[in-house]
Structure 1
Amino acid sequence: MDIFSFVQLFGGLAFFLYGMKLLSDSLKKTAGGRLEKLLRKATDNPFKGLAIGAIITIAIQSSSAMTVMLVGFVNSGIMDLGQTIGVIFGSDIGTTLTAWILSLSGIDSKDNIFLKLLEPKCFSLIFALIGILLIMASKKQKKKEIGTMLVGFAILMQGMTMMSGSMAPLREMESFTKILTAFNFPLLGVLAGMVVTGVIQSSAAAIGILQSISLTGKLTWGMAIPIIMGANIGTCMTAILSSIGVSKDAKRVTAIHVAIKIIGTIIWLVVFYSVVSVVDFEFMDKEIGVVGIAVFHSIFNIVNTILLFPFSKQLEKLARVIVKASDEEKEMILDERLMLTPTIAVGESANFVTKMFTKVRNGLDKATDLLMNGFNSEDFEAIMANEEKIDSYEDHIGSYLMKLTTEHHLNEDDKRSSSKMLQVIGEFERLGDHASYMAKSAEELKSKNISFSPAAKEELDRIIPAVREVYSMAIKCYESGKPEDAMDIGPLRIVISEMCEAFKASHVDRLSEGVCTVEQGFVFNDILYSCGRIADHSMNIAAVVYRFATSDSSNTAYMHDFKQKTGSSSEVSYQRYFDKYMSGAKS
């Protein structure tokens, strides 16, 4: 084997990896987001997750890409950790299809025209031709993507053919036979498969290389089996890299993926080679072909799934042991054992809601302070971190209460308390979002060196204190649970809404006069939008409190009725807030 054979081998590997990437990327684009929507359906049914994981991996031809997708979904809160386990098992089964496609390279066509058409060196060229025609001739983007997919598949198969051709000279080399013989020692074979796959970050490519080597006729079952096991561990490298800088739960997705592969390999090594030491399997010393490699690759992953899938809960617990919870995460854990006494569970949930709105209030105080008194990075970072914690509180409290109310019997008071909390945590979460939006507006003013005109500053000096008062009133109202504390929020919300409209109109006038710039306007309008939305969400909180504090709790139109509530006291309150914040402003 000379230097040109190595060039052909690594050139073929480059073709294979590029073709795989092109095929995978084009399949994702052609799906138009349907794969992601399908993945989101893998919720509480692990068997559905298993099927969906297999289907998507077959479609995108990459278990690594599937795991990376799961890491992203868990990190963004779209999926829970437990929901990913079935998908991971399905992905392991789905990825074996690639080995079966690559096994077509072992077809001996002789003079049969139909078998000859199944050879990669023949049908891949046909696919390439069709793909190029679609790319060049079609005006529709979807057809172009299908063409790219066909070209990617053709490049992949051409790479496989090149790798197989580069191995041909090895058939006559005694030194190569001696090297392969070393892989009869299982641990060495597992290590080799793991390292090679980890470096190229593709188990499909590693299996493809192994299938190319098998065409030399020098590879036996005993040599190939541990290498295939190692390749299944090595494929986790992509997921490990993707888990850098993500949430703890997202890291646990990778931990589960790695655990499945390692535990499965250990079981195979112990059980299979224990049996081999007692029973003389003649096939272990026989030559393995490309189909044999595809067969064992499939058997390994299917048996792993059969053995380990029933222990999904234990795998999740193991991942939580490997990736330990931080002190902050521990603070957010609502103990499910408390559900045995629902009243206590409801009370603990209420304590968590208190922690949540305390963080919301702190975030809003800091955000409005950034706008009033100038930007500082310490408060900005605190607001951003705070917003993530608020999101986590909403997820944890919402999931906990839903499980509590659907799986346990609650008395009427606990039902009302749970329902009240479920309705307000979303409003608190949105208040936290707007605190981060205001902080980003303050950062934009600082980074772009933007300063508002005196008139715009005067308007912000009016509306920001009004916003501070409305969200403070809403939080106080929720804490007290008294309907009278909700009554003034509606009038103040109307005043803030009118201020937003008036100040937007004033800004348009300043734009036409050249006093303000468009760039200033974008930031100014973003701030006014957040002010208006904070008032709206504060109003929603007040309306929920009012509903649950009055006897008329069955009225489904309570939110609309309360927002439209008028009367002498409301009119007096409106006038008081108008005089306090709006008097003198342009209307």
Structure 2
Amino acid sequence: MVKKTLIISILLIIAYFVISEDNIKIILSGIAIFLIGMHFMEDGFKLFSGGTLEKILEKFTSTNARALTTGFITTSIVQSSSLISVIVISFLSVELISLAKGIAIIFGANLGSTTTAWIVSSFGLNLKISIYAMPMIIFGVIFRFSKNSTYVGLGNILLGLGFIFLGISYMKEGFDTLKDSIDLAAYSVGGYLGIFIYILIGAIATVVIQSSSATMAIIITALAGANILYIDALALAIGANVGTTVTAVIGSLTSNENGKRLAFAHFVFNIFTGLLAVVLIYTLRDLVEFLSPMLGIAADNYTMKLALFHTLFNLLGIIVLYPFISKIVTLAEKLISDKYKKSSKPLYLAQANIKIPYNAMVSIQKETIRLYDNAQKAILHALSVHTSQLNTKEDIAKVVNQNSKIDTNLDDIYQKELKSLYSDIIEYALISQQNMNQEQSKYVTDLKIISNLIIKTLKDTRDIQKNVNFYLNSKNEYIKEEYRFIKEELVTFIFEVNELKKDFESDSETDELEVSTQIQVDKERLQKLDVIHNGRIDSLIKDEKITSKMATSIINDTSTAYTICTNLLNIANVMFIRDKNLRELGELDEVK
């Protein structure tokens, strides 16, 4: 009730000023238009890049230094540290990068976000940028009518830039005329008390607006209109940096523990940098005065001096904290420990990834692999094989011939663990495909099919589990040998698929042609399970070595084993071969 009353009160106050004060109405309109522009810019870069932005962030992060540089460059281009933060959090949720690399990217993104101040102070105030805004908006709307997502993304970027320029123009106009009616600078509080007050104002403004870029644009246009003093503008800039920590925390709420750790690191960086800037505010101000002539900044150009100050204290924070990234990681892992997660709960299907096609695709891929891991472990246990005993190909004969039995209820495992996980994968895939291009959507459709095959493989194993365990203990050596062969083939195929998985997940270069050849060889091995056509059962019956009842069981169970192995090869072909052409060569004619 209190929250609702507070919101209504704020809206009424805003409505009063909008109606009664033309200057404030123009400023608020400028802020609103600027924020709309930022929104279109973010959406535009997501669509326009088609996953390129995500691939760049994934590829160019081999070291902390490269990750920091990549964070700086990408944020400078897209003009949104929030977008980069969301992508990094989503990367961490699917374990595409390490936490240390993610923190380095965020450090770079903080420095990259300072370019907004340079753009606004150098172009936004010195040029009549509203002239350029209208053509951008017009062409942005035209491109948005395209059916091609890349052109729609470009349209959103143009719309975003147009609205940002228009918003800056409105804010500048509002602050220019506001000085005539209200002298805000006259209410300035001197000393460190005033600095802390303006830091608090800057932080609150950023939390409310949810954009440090918008806050900096407001500060710069207010400073240009002489509505605030230079020293107060410096304090507001510090506050804007501190306020972005709330955005990071909110963005991490739907993420896993690593996402929360990244938000913690972001919080540590901004708070520490803010405190450092407060302590050294007058020293940094003097350093700005010293550097300005070297950079061609005029003595009375306080807006560009503010941009330089904003860059300097963020750079100082990086210089001080960069060597301690590993310590921050250790502290974050201690404070935010991993929660135990049942196999029925998804680890990688983060809601934040749904609107980022490339990351959503990777999320589904990793969760499908996890579904396979859980299923193959259950299948091996159903065949009385401990996964820890199956390390090399030579171990296959040992585990097949051992007499120990593992009590495994596959129905129970399916109902309690895998059914829910499978449903979550399918639901997540269906929702995320709405934002994907044709190629990405096709791959996710393949993953949905593979998820279904994994469940079918588990159920097929359940159907032969009883007979395998029964006849392996039979006194009839012939039927015993047939079921030992079925077990050996199943274990061999699972082992080889797991080897392909290891190669796929390792950092070393894998000869995919060799992998594809191995799948072709395995396809030929499948014929050994075709007992009807190879005549092996006919000979056993003819020589009266097995009964007709035994023969029926063997025919049915080898047919099921054939289906299981076929599906295992299809699973491996889709999930563990990267090259699309090789995947097509490896496809089996029929998936049962």
Q: TM-score over 0.5 for the alignment?
A: yes
Q: Structure 1 residues 468, 262: CA separation in 2 closer, same or farther (over 3 Å shift)?
A: closer
Aligned partner of 1:223 in structure 2 is 232
Structure 1, unaligned runs of 5 or more: 109-117, 330-381, 390-424, 436-466, 490-522, 549-554
Partners in 2 of 1:237 and 1:272 — Cα distance?
Answer: 23
Q: Is the 8 A contact 2:85 2:248 kept in 1?
A: yes
Asked whether 1:212 is paired with 2:221, we answer yes
Of 239, 256, 263, the match for 2:248: 239
Deviation at 1:102, TM superposition (A): 1.5
Q: Is the 8 A contact 1:16 1:159 kept in 2?
A: yes
For residues 369-399 of structure 1, give each alpha carbon's deviation from its aligned partner in whole angstroms, at most 9, with x where no partner exists: xxxxxxxxxxxxx5513x649xxxxxxxxxx
Deviation at 1:199, TM superposition (A): 1.0
Between the two proteins, the alignment pairs up a number of residues equal to: 416
Partners in 2 of 1:9 and 1:426 — Cα distance?
Answer: 47
Asked whether 1:300 is paired with 2:214, we answer no
Partners in 2 of 1:547 and 1:130 — Cα distance?
Answer: 51
Asked whether 1:126 is paired with 2:135, we answer yes
For residues 54-93 of structure 1, give each alpha carbon's deviation from its aligned partner in whole angstroms, at most 9, with x where no partner exists: 2321232210121122112212222221220221112112
Q: Is the 8 A contact 1:219 1:287 kept in 2?
A: no
Asked whether 1:146 is paired with 2:154, we answer yes
Deviation at 1:487, TM superposition (A): 6.2
Asked whether 1:54 is paired with 2:52, we answer no
Q: Structure 1 residues 427, 479: CA separation in 2 closer, same or farther (over 3 Å shift)?
A: farther
Aligned partner of 1:90 in structure 2 is 108
Aligned partner of 1:343 in structure 2 is none
Q: Is the 8 A contact 1:9 1:162 kept in 2?
A: yes
Q: Structure 1 residues 46, 563: CA separation in 2 closer, same or farther (over 3 Å shift)?
A: farther
Percent of residue pairs identical: 22
Q: Is the 8 A contact 2:48 2:149 kept in 1?
A: no
For residues 195-251 of structure 1, give each alpha carbon's deviation from its aligned partner in whole angstroms, at most 9, with x where no partner exists: 110111100000010011112224333211121111011112222112114221110
Aligned partner of 1:531 in structure 2 is 456
Partners in 2 of 1:316 and 1:122 — Cα distance?
Answer: 47
Asked whether 1:472 is paired with 2:386, we answer no
TM-score by length of 1: 0.59
Q: Structure 1 residues 235, 213: CA separation in 2 closer, same or farther (over 3 Å shift)?
A: same
Of 20, 26, 33, the match for 1:15: 33
Aligned partner of 2:556 in structure 1 is 582
Q: Is the 8 A contact 1:471 1:534 kept in 2?
A: no
Aligned-residue RMSD, C-alpha? 4.8
Partners in 2 of 1:324 and 1:526 — Cα distance?
Answer: 30
Q: Is the 8 A contact 2:202 2:215 kept in 1?
A: yes
| Aligned counterparts, 1:355-394, within 5 A | 383-385=343-345, 388=347
Deviation at 1:297, TM superposition (A): 1.6
Aligned partner of 1:313 in structure 2 is 326
Of 168, 178, 196, the match for 2:176: 168
Partners in 2 of 1:468 and 1:263 — Cα distance?
Answer: 49
Partners in 1 of 2:217 and 2:236 — Cα distance?
Answer: 12
Partners in 1 of 2:242 and 2:106 — Cα distance?
Answer: 13
Q: Is the 8 A contact 1:183 1:223 kept in 2?
A: no
- Aligned residue type for 1:319: A
Farther-moved stretch of structure 1 (199-208 vs 571-580): 571-580
Partners in 2 of 1:576 and 1:42 — Cα distance?
Answer: 60
Farther-moved stretch of structure 1 (10-19 vs 304-313): 304-313
Structure 2, unaligned runs of 5 or more: 1-16, 293-298, 349-365, 404-447, 463-486, 499-513, 541-545, 561-591
Of 155, 159, 167, the match for 1:159: 167
Q: Is the 8 A contact 1:477 1:485 kept in 2?
A: no
Aligned partner of 1:63 in structure 2 is 81
Aligned partner of 1:291 in structure 2 is 304
Q: Structure 1 residues 66, 95: CA separation in 2 closer, same or farther (over 3 Å shift)?
A: same
Deviation at 1:26, TM superposition (A): 0.9
Partners in 1 of 2:280 and 2:306 — Cα distance?
Answer: 20
Aligned partner of 2:50 in structure 1 is 32
Asked whether 1:72 is paired with 2:81, we answer no
Partners in 2 of 1:38 and 1:93 — Cα distance?
Answer: 18
Q: Structure 1 residues 576, 547: CA separation in 2 closer, same or farther (over 3 Å shift)?
A: farther
For residues 548-575 of structure 1, give each alpha carbon's deviation from its aligned partner in whole angstroms, at most 9, with x where no partner exists: 9xxxxxx99699498777899x978999
For residues 297-326 of structure 1, give each alpha carbon's deviation from its aligned partner in whole angstroms, at most 9, with x where no partner exists: 222222222222122112212322442444
Q: Is the 8 A contact 1:28 1:60 kept in 2?
A: no
Partners in 2 of 1:428 and 1:146 — Cα distance?
Answer: 35
Which secondary structure state, in structure 2, belongs to the residue aligned with residue 236 of structure 1? helix
Q: Structure 1 residues 183, 76: CA separation in 2 closer, same or farther (over 3 Å shift)?
A: farther
Partners in 2 of 1:133 and 1:524 — Cα distance?
Answer: 38
Partners in 2 of 1:106 and 1:546 — Cα distance?
Answer: 61
Q: Structure 1 residues 433, 578: CA separation in 2 closer, same or farther (over 3 Å shift)?
A: farther
Partners in 2 of 1:85 and 1:213 — Cα distance?
Answer: 33
Deviation at 1:540, TM superposition (A): 6.8
Q: Structure 1 residues 45, 487: CA separation in 2 closer, same or farther (over 3 Å shift)?
A: same
Which secondary structure state, in structure 1, belongs to the residue aligned with residue 188 of structure 2? helix
Of 189, 197, 206, the match for 2:198: 189
Q: Structure 1 residues 295, 540: CA separation in 2 closer, same or farther (over 3 Å shift)?
A: farther
Partners in 1 of 2:54 and 2:450 — Cα distance?
Answer: 34
- Aligned residue type for 2:318: T
Q: Is the 8 A contact 1:134 1:146 kept in 2?
A: yes
Partners in 2 of 1:479 and 1:584 — Cα distance?
Answer: 25
Partners in 1 of 2:496 and 2:131 — Cα distance?
Answer: 74
Q: Structure 1 residues 151, 246: CA separation in 2 closer, same or farther (over 3 Å shift)?
A: closer
Which secondary structure state, in structure 2, belongs to the residue aligned with residue 79 of structure 1? coil
Deviation at 1:15, TM superposition (A): 0.4
Deviation at 1:45, TM superposition (A): 0.8
- Aligned residue type for 2:159: V
Q: Structure 1 residues 134, 318: CA separation in 2 closer, same or farther (over 3 Å shift)?
A: same
TM-score by length of 2: 0.59
Q: Structure 1 residues 120, 247: CA separation in 2 closer, same or farther (over 3 Å shift)?
A: same
Farther-moved stretch of structure 1 (212-221 vs 29-38): 212-221
Partners in 2 of 1:575 and 1:44 — Cα distance?
Answer: 61
| Aligned counterparts, 1:436-585, within 5 A | 471-473=381-383, 475-476=385-386, 478-479=388-389, 481=395, 483-486=397-400, 530-532=455-457, 542=492, 560=522, 579=553, 582=556
Aligned partner of 2:210 in structure 1 is 201
